[in-house]
Amino acid sequence: MKTIDELLADGVAGKRVFVRADLNVPLKEGVITDDGRIRAVQPTIAKLAEAGARVVVASHLGRPKGTGTEPDFSLAPAAKRLGELLGAEVAFATDTVGDSAKAVVAGLADGQVAVIENLRFNAGETSKDEAERVAFARELAELADLYVGDGFGAVHRKHASVFDLPALLPHAAGYLIATEVGVLKKLTAEVKRPYVVVLGGAKVSDKLAVIDELLGRADRILIGGGMAYTFLKAKGHEVGISLLQQDQIPVVTEYMERAEKNGVELVLPVDILASADFPDIKGGTPADFITVDADQIPADKEGLDIGPKTRELYASKIADAETVFWNGPVGVFEHPDYANGTRAIAQALVDSEAFTVVGGGDSAAAVRILGFDENAFGHISTGGGASLEYLEGKTLPGLAALEG
């Protein structure tokens, strides 16, 4: 995989460099609530601009219908924030490959940066029809002379700007992707042990493939979040009205048996915060909950966070680790009464002397929302789905394209 430093060594002054970034930031009433992904790609963009490139930044945001502009999914707020971080004005095109994009790119001087509108406003970006994708990629290629892939959060997608466009232009990996891949190698090919994995999130089905792979790699797997209740049910425990994927019980049972056979310690919650009502996240109204042993959840209640004994247990299981990977909150962390489990996991990583990786997505958001110093972790990934698929052993289309 050619690196951006090699591209810079060849000279980029005066050249139009298309940077496929991941500016898919959360917005609330048009205001960015977490700019982590913009800050993550800033070094690549800044370096290219300093070298005199005419930088064309492109990204997706959310899941628009692909039928044209949708104001709620506009990249305008991300473009404004990027300009603030760069300390320079960033031009903004109100379309992807139309008159606005062509005019904005044509108007760039050496060292200037532009952002084009949400790529997913064009159906060709995400089309499963290869011809339609390639046609859109060719239109994008007309805006640039070189391609830099630095949107790690999208490399597991076979999309036009991620997979097809690199084949049409000289290409290289940006600093963020190089960092992310280097970290993932430390979780696969170069693991220091004990290797502890913490998996949370809502659905066990989202994590089955990575658990399957980790049963041959990890020393301990700690389970939390909504997915834990399918494991508890598989052990014969009552889980009340907790989130449950009944159809996954057979495979979860098989995984627990395989973990024991492989000598992998699979750790489940020992106590739970349970309530008859899902919390008022928006209003933050105090929740009405009880703390119960994990095998004593009342039939009319659902588990919403791990309990204090589990928090202590999991912290002890992380304490002696040399490598820790965490993906997925272990409770409804968006509500203060159910944030303590996720906070305890984050704190255990901070306290650990291990190489710690927060695997993107909601767990990365939780770290920031709960006020942790990002520098206290070994790495906070910008791509939860991409990280998981890499750990599953899958070939990621965006990385394959950059290697081609």
Known catalytic residues are: 37, 203, 361, 385
Rounded Cα distance, 281 and 268, in Å:
26
User: Is 294 in contact with 268 (CB distance < 8 Å)?
Assistant: yes
Amino acid sitting at position 122: N
Write phi, then psi, for 165 (nearest 5 degrees): -65, -40
- Sheet strands side by side (includes 323-327): 265-267, 220-223, 195-199, 323-327, 355-358, 379-380
CB contact burial 347-378 (16+ within 10 A = b; e otherwise):
bbbeebebbbbbbbbbbbbbbbbbebeeeebb
Dihedral, 276, 279, 285, 287 alpha carbons, nearest 10: 40
Asked if residues 194 and 322 have their Cβ atoms less than 8 Å apart, the reply is yes
User: Tokens 């005019």 correspond to what residue?
Assistant: 103
Angle at which helix 361-369 crosses helix 384-391, to 10 degrees, equals 130
Spatial neighbors of 236 by CB under 8 A, at least 6 apart, are none
Quote the longest CA-to-CA distance of the chain.
67
**Alpha helices of 235-360 — where are they, by DSSP H?**
249-262, 308-319, 340-351
Provide the b/e sequence for 294-314 (b: ≥16 CB within 10 Å): bbebeeebbbbbbbeebbebb
Residues 322 and 193: beta-carbon distance below 8 Å: yes
Phi, psi of 296, rounded to the nearest 5 degrees? -130, 30
Q: With beta carbons less than 8 A apart as the criterion, state whether 335 and 284 touch.
A: yes
> What does residue 316 show for φ and ψ, rounded to 5 degrees?
-70, -30
